[in-house]
Amino acid sequence: MFDKILIANRGEIACRVIHTAKKLGIRTVAVYSEADAQARHVKLADEAWLLGPAAPKASYLLGDKLIEIAKATGAQAIHPGYGFLSENEEFAAACEAAGVVFIGPPASSIAAMGSKSAAKQLMERALVPLVPGYHGDDQDPALLARETERIGFPVLIKASAGGGGKGMKIVERAEDFAAQLASAQREALASFGDDKVLVEKYLTKPRHVEIQVFADQHENCVYLFERDCSVQRRHQKVLEEAPAPGMSEERRRQMGEAACNAARAIGYVGAGTVEFILDTLTGEFYFMEMNTRLQVEHPVTEMITGQDLVEWQLRVADGERLPLLQEELHIHGHALEARIYAEDPAKDFLPAIGHLHVLRTPQVSQTIRIDSGVVEGDEISPYYDPMIAKLIVWGEDRPAALRRMRQALSEYRIVGLTTNVDFLATTVAHPAFATGNVDTGLIARHRAELIPAEQAVSHDLLAIASLAELAEITRLAALRRAQSNDPTSPWNDAAGWRLNEATHTELHFRDTSGDRIALAHYRCDGFIIEIEGESIACKLLQESHGQLRFDLNGRQLTADVIRHENELHLFVFGRHHVLQRFDPVLDGLDEQDDTGSLRAPMPGTVVAVLVTAGQTVEKGQPLIVLEAMKMEHTIAAPAAGLVTELLYQVGERVNEGTELILLNTET
């Protein structure tokens, strides 16, 4: 076995690999960019080497430099993780040439699967079933349009070199084809440096079911069963599970064997995933692509098989035989993974950036696993994937795993940036998911229930917020009293003491519906809190480090309250609620008038300007396209108006909040 390995990646996957290396007594070399100098993976490794500036091209994608560091540190092998150089055949070949083991398949296998088009040509020959489509080399737009007509709408345009759901466009009608093709090519070129595309039939109600395969250097190949990754947004997975709900033994064996055939056809070695798309209407399955690396969602497979796939990777790379044969592999129970992202589900899952002011997680155990590359205080930067953590749970069966997932999600406390935690909690609780009747359209179809419009905060929540504020007022008053030279002064008292008036305190909050006022009347055993005509009897029973135990109209409950700037974050009833606290005297001074200006939602590059100065536009009309965090974001007109000025041109970089275009909406 190797004595020392280099991990050519960052974030949770770098930490994940280091974990197994440590378990096996292998020393680890981490690498990092300037943005990651304080990152968790850097601290976990035995040593860490600086690569360069934050941009992946200047750091994590520097293949030669990585090999140099491996040489200099005496690392005998390089684990590429996923993303970055993991599916880069030149890098795999360069490692081989330099005498460093690439922990992955041979360069030739990566090459065979690197292009989705070429892979489909190959699979066609290996008799693996394919989705009807065009995957030829000729990229003439007229030919592509003709092929599309032949396949029949709807079709999906995919970047041949694609990954991570990028560069994919659904086309419903012939008249949209040209624009969608251009957009797919642009995204493909920006993300993968290659604008080649393929077109295939877009299945309307499919499931994404993939098979984990493993092959060694002695011609053995096994499948470690399937994962269902149908719950996706932007064609990217958010919830994954193993085994797939409703999978028959027969279908499992067919798909497993088809996947092993695919692997054998390209002389595969190591961990790989063969992705299939399953037509829920006909029950047919088709090859989609093969990912020649460890997959993000590999932990669900580990949970149900009891195997450590990174350990398997290391053993196989070292020339050992596969640890287990097909007959020795069994499914035990059910596992679910939820990807916790910094993103805003309400804004079409726009990635978010910011500071993890508070990050508290459920307790890990035999049945709850968290893979993460960040800790409280860290930054989610615009340079890399905005994943905060993977939460993986195990249960005896699917309902048990679901309950555990729901519970674990409700224990997350993240403050400082927008996350998808509540969205995930709502999704796993939704009947569409709970019944196991999943397909890739689940999120879109149930959008209204999964991403409810922000509502006015309930009276109960306002009462809880009031109790938290009253506890804070008491705490501050006690502090003042302790520091004062007149501790008995009524001015240092917090019991709502008034001259000539019943004792009460007015508390001001703000939510999406506007200003909310709570009037707290002091009673000897608690408060009567009056909110918009309703009176709620409240009592604070206990308070410690922001955790409140209280009584609301005779009901005893617990909530976590976290203050951040002028926000009050309430974690109660399994959900996260945010209220603004405000001072009515100072209010209204800093209101900003944003009409007529359109700002960049995050740092990025302008990739298309779709209007000209002097042009009138309709509400919702796309104005400018920004590429940020490897995705295209279209900025549309919030209202009809006249474009008065374009402030940026194609190719220019913009910062978050930068005004991009001036629009006069007063007509």
Show the site string, 127-156: x = touches ligand ADP by CB under 6 A, - = not. Answer: ----x------------------------x
Instruction: Give least dist CB 235 to ligand ADP, A.
Output: 4
Contacted by 208, from ligand ADP, Mg ion, none: CB < 5 to 8 Å by type: ligand ADP
| Residue 291 engages ligand ADP in binding (rule: CB under 6 A) | yes
In this chain, which residue has its C-beta nearest to ligand ADP?
83
User: Residue 432 or 636: which CB sits closer to ligand ADP?
Assistant: 432
What is the phi/psi pair of residue 493, to 5°? -95, 150
Stretch that binds ligand ADP, among 72-80, 171-179, 232-240, 612-620 (CB under 6 A): 232-240
User: Residue 270 or 526: which CB sits closer to ligand ADP?
Assistant: 270
Instruction: Give least dist CB 126 to Mg ion, A.
Output: 19
Output the six-digit token pair for 67.
Answer: 């090999």
For the segment 238-277, give every residue that binds Mg ion (CB under 5 A): 275
| Residue 237 engages ligand ADP in binding (rule: CB under 6 A) | yes
Task: Check: CB of residue 145 under 8 Å from CB of residue 178.
Answer: yes
User: Residue 159 or 222: which CB sits closer to Mg ion?
Assistant: 159
| Residue 33 engages ligand ADP in binding (rule: CB under 6 A) | no
Contacted by 131, from ligand ADP, Mg ion, none: CB < 5 to 8 Å by type: ligand ADP
d(CA 493, CA 486): 11
Task: Check: CB of residue 13 under 8 Å from CB of residue 35.
Answer: no
Closest CA to 400 of 375, 374, 428: 428
For the segment 160-199, give every residue that binds ligand ADP (CB under 6 A): 162-165
| Residue 117 engages ligand ADP in binding (rule: CB under 6 A) | no
Q: Both ends of the chain: CA-CA distance in Å? A: 73
| Residue 391 engages ligand ADP in binding (rule: CB under 6 A) | no
User: Residue 263 or 288: which CB sits closer to ligand ADP?
Assistant: 288
For the segment 596-635, give every residue that binds ligand ADP (CB under 6 A): 630
Contacted by 203, from ligand ADP, Mg ion, none: CB < 5 to 8 Å by type: ligand ADP
d(CA 214, CA 403): 31
Task: Check: CB of residue 188 under 8 Å from CB of residue 627.
Answer: no
Element (H, E) at 27: strand 27-33
- Note if 293 is an active site residue: yes
Contacted by 200, from Mg ion, ligand ADP, none: CB < 5 to 8 Å by type: ligand ADP
Stretch that binds ligand ADP, among 230-238, 392-400, 539-547, 616-624 (CB under 6 A): 230-238
Partners of residue 378 on adjacent β-strands:
none
| Nearest 10 degrees: Cα torsion 224, 226, 232, 238 | -40
Instruction: Give least dist CB 153 to Mg ion, A.
Output: 22
d(CA 5, CA 21): 8
CA distances 236 to 29, 384, 445, Å, are 30, 16, 16
Count, residues in the chain: 667
User: Residue 121 or 236: which CB sits closer to Mg ion?
Assistant: 236
User: Residue 131 or 623: which CB sits closer to ligand ADP?
Assistant: 131
| Residue 420 engages ligand ADP in binding (rule: CB under 6 A) | no
* Cα atoms found within 13 Å of the Cα of residue 141, Cβ hemisphere only: 12
> CA 259, 260, 261, 264 torsion: positive or negative?
positive
Output the six-digit token pair for 61.
Answer: 């994608």
Give the start-end residues of each E strand in 399-492. Answer: 413-415
User: Residue 237 or 459: which CB sits closer to ligand ADP?
Assistant: 237
- Residue among 233, 252, 293, 516 flagged as catalytic: 293
Closest CA to 439 of 304, 224, 244, 225: 244
- Judged by CB under 6 A, the residue of 36, 200, 627, 632 near ligand ADP is 200
**SS3 track for 75-104:** CCEEECCCCCCCCCHHHHHHHHHHCCEECC
Instruction: Give least dist CB 279 to ligand ADP, A.
Output: 9
Size of the site for Mg ion (CB under 5 A): 1
- Judged by CB under 6 A, the residue of 69, 107, 239, 277 near ligand ADP is 277
d(CA 456, CA 452): 12
For the segment 400-419, give every residue that binds ligand ADP (CB under 6 A): none
Output the six-digit token pair for 261.
Answer: 């055939």
Burial of 486 (0-12, 13-18, 19+ CB in 10 A): exposed
For the segment 430-459, give every residue that binds ligand ADP (CB under 6 A): 440
d(CA 550, CA 555): 8
| Residue 82 engages ligand ADP in binding (rule: CB under 6 A) | yes
Burial of 544 (0-12, 13-18, 19+ CB in 10 A): exposed
Stretch that binds ligand ADP, among 157-165, 410-418, 455-463, 655-663 (CB under 6 A): 157-165
Catalytic positions? 293
User: By the criterion CB under 6 A, which residues form the site for ligand ADP?
Assistant: 56, 82-84, 131, 156, 158, 162-165, 200-203, 206, 208, 232, 235-237, 275, 277, 288-289, 291, 295-296, 384-385, 440, 630
User: By the criterion CB under 5 A, which residues form the site for Mg ion?
Assistant: 275
